[in-house]
Each structure stands twice: as C-alpha cells, then as structure tokens.
Amino acid sequence: MGIDYGERRVGVALSDDGHTFAFPHTVYENNDTLIRSIRSVVEKESVGTIVVGEAENPVGGENTIQRRTMIFAEALRVATPCNVATWSEAYSSAEARRALEERVRTRKDKHVPVDSAAAAIILQRYLDAHKTQE
C-alpha cells in the first residue's frame, strides 16, 4: 500500500499481487477515522507493507508536514501489523497532475483523484527500487 499524506486528504494506492504495478485506490479525508479506514483496507486487501510518502523540504529547514507524516507513520506501525516504510514523494503530486491532465486531454478515465494517483507514484517508485535489489 502506498500513501500520499496530506493535511486535508490522504491518497491510497495498492499494488498487484506480484508487487509489480501500483494503481490508485482511494482518497480519505484526514480526520479521526483515517487510521481505522486504512486498517480496514489493510485487512481486506491483505497488505503487508505500507509505504508512506516522505515530504522533503527542497530548501531545507523545518518541515511541518514532514513531522506530521512521521507521526502518522508511527501511528500506522502501532495500529496495523504491517511493515511501515517511508519513501520520497518528491514531486509525486506534480507528476500525478501532469499524468491526469494527459488522461483528460486524451479522453481517458477522468475520475482518478490526484491524491491517490500521487500515492500510486510513490508506491511504484518503491516497488521499482526494491525490484532491482532482488
């Protein structure tokens, strides 16, 4: 499972059974039911690893969202039986927006939220990096 954590919304992506391809799954509001919702997907989809996008600050300095992301990742470690990893989310939202604009332009599926598409990009990067290590 890949997660693009945001202050208002949290994108979720899943991979295929072979852990080769990531695809957008859903978007949740970032509220009091978030952990419960993610735990439900973990159980239903038999998720073993959760990859949380790590929000880096390209200019350095304190990064408020990164602190919240790490607290969220720790909450997932406590609330789920999953291995929880962090992975760079650098420019994943911008890349997702660009890809979705292309889909709209070519009249393909227009209903993929940017947040879950960004989560799929984060997860795909993680899968690709771990595939080359095997």
Question: What does the pLDDT average to over 14-19?
Answer: 94
Please, are residues 51 and 11 in contact by the beta-carbon 8 Å criterion? Answer: no
Name 85's bridge partners: 51
Distance, CA of 79 to CA of 76 (rounded, Å): 5
Question: If you search the block for the tokens 């009091």, which residue do you land on?
Answer: 32
Q: Which of 35-39, 85-89, 127-131 has the highest mean pLDDT?
A: 35-39
Q: What is the CATH number for 32? A: 3.30.420.140
For the stretch 97-122, pLDDT in tens is 565 555 544 455 545 577 888 899 89
Task: Say how many domains are in the chain.
Answer: 1
Structural domain boundaries, residue 98? 2-133
Radius of gyration of the chain (CA): 14
Average pLDDT, the chain: 83
